[in-house]
């Protein structure tokens, strides 16, 4: 298992941002934004990074892993932290970098793109904005219940989310997956990496996870008209978790977006088809 190189960056106000860099040191940089409750240990495609010549950068979002909490964290502020972290590694002259974002991390990828920092954006199994009307209307009341509570009574929603742990998140993800996805998620070396990433994601009593999920469940307030880089939205056809329409509404909101479905694949698409994801990164970034 690639352990990567640990990296620590300080923001202007002195907050610590902790991350890791994986793959060949002379590889082309790609920023990876992991999904719900996952810290810097989460990675994809580690076995094919050398042949693709890619160096993957990951970061603990504020309040996760070794990154200091930010009590007033926002969507844009988190995107700015990713920019600060990446530019500290690559040099302040780095105007943009290709970004791969997975699941709940997709919203931060879009926020980065709206800031103009994503040279290209690949959204793999991205979670939808539940409060966007065209998405909300496709979901059952049960599926929107917690999201609706986050809007009407944020403190009540936070109390529910504070009861989540790394173990309950693992159980929920695996229990809600298809048999094929569950088999992958419980296989090695993925399971060891996943548990390590979850332990980072739920550090600091889960404050970072709660903040992430509250941001995800309420309106994102991302100006999609500012997303001008090429965007590729990828879904497995058997994915029943991340989007009710496999990203069709999301694609319609982004002028530069294309969408591709992978037959026979589910929510674990990022890892089972990592080589294809990296090929798409290369194609978009050219």
Report the 3 state secondary structure along the chain: CCCCEEEEEECCCCCEEEEEEECCCCCEEEEEECCCCCCCCCCCCCCCHHHHCEEEEEECCCCCCCCCCCCCCCHHHHHHHHHHHHHHHHCCCCCCEEEEEEHHHHHHHHHHHHCCCEEEEEEECCCCCCCCHHHHCCCCHHHHHHHHHHHHCHHHHHHHHCCCCHHHHHHHHHHCCCHHHHHHHCCCCHHHHHHHHHHHHCCHHHHHHHHHHHHHHCCCCCCHHHCCCCEEEEEECCCCCCCCCCCHHHHHHCCCEEEEEECCCCCCHHHHCHHHHHHHHHHHHC
Q: What is the pLDDT of residues 227-258, one digit of tens each?
A: 999 999 999 999 999 999 999 999 999 999 99
The fold adopted by the segment(s) 5-285 is Rossmann fold (3.40.50)
Full-model pTM: 0.97
Domain locations in the chain as residue ranges: 5-285
Q: What confidence tier does 285 reach under pLDDT thresholds 50, 70, 90?
A: confident
Q: Does residue 16 register a pLDDT over 90?
A: yes
- Sign of the Cα torsion 22, 28, 34, 40 reads positive
What is the pLDDT at residue 286? 76
For 84-132, how does the pLDDT look when each residue is reduced to its tens digit (9 = 90+)? 999 999 987 788 999 999 999 999 999 999 999 999 999 999 999 999 9
Q: Is the pLDDT of residue 1 over 80?
A: no
Tens of pLDDT, residues 170-213: 999 999 999 999 999 999 999 999 999 999 999 999 999 999 99
- Distance, C-alpha 241 to centroid of its chain: 15
pLDDT in tens, 54-87: 999 999 999 999 999 999 999 999 999 999 999 9
């Amino acid at each position: 298992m690639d352990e990567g190189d640990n990296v620590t960056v300080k923001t202007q106000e002195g907050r610590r941002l902790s991350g890791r860099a994986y793959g060949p040191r002379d590889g082309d940089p790609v920023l990876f934004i992991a999904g719900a409750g996952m810290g810097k240990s989460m990675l994809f495609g580690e076995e094919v990074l050398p042949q693709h010549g890619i160096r993957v950068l990951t970061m603990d979002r504020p309040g996760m892993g070794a990154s200091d909490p930010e009590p007033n964290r926002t969507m844009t502020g988190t995107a700015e932290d990713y920019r600060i972290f990446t530019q500290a590694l690559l040099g302040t002259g780095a105007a943009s970098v290709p970004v791969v974002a997975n699941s709940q991390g997709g919203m931060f990828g879009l926020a980065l793109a709206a800031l103009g920092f994503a040279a290209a954006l690949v959204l793999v199994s991205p979670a939808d904005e539940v409060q966007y009307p065209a998405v909300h209307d496709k979901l059952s009341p049960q599926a929107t219940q917690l999201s609706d509570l986050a809007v009407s009574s944020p403190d009540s929603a936070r109390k529910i989310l504070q009861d989540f742990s790394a173990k309950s998140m693992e159980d929920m993800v695996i229990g809600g997956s298809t048999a094929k996805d569950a088999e992958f998620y419980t296989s090695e070396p993925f399971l060891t990496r996943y548990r390590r990433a979850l332990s980072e994601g739920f550090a600091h009593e889960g404050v970072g996870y709660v903040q992430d999920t509250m941001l995800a469940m309420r309106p994102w307030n991302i100006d999609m008209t500012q997303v001008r880089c090429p965007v590729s939205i990828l879904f497995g056809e058997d994915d029943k978790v991340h989007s009710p329409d496999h990203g069709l509404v999301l694609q319609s909101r982004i002028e530069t977006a294309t969408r591709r479905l992978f037959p026979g694949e589910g929510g674990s698409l990022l890892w089972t088809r990592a080589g294809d994801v990296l090929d798409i990164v290369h194609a978009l970034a050219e």
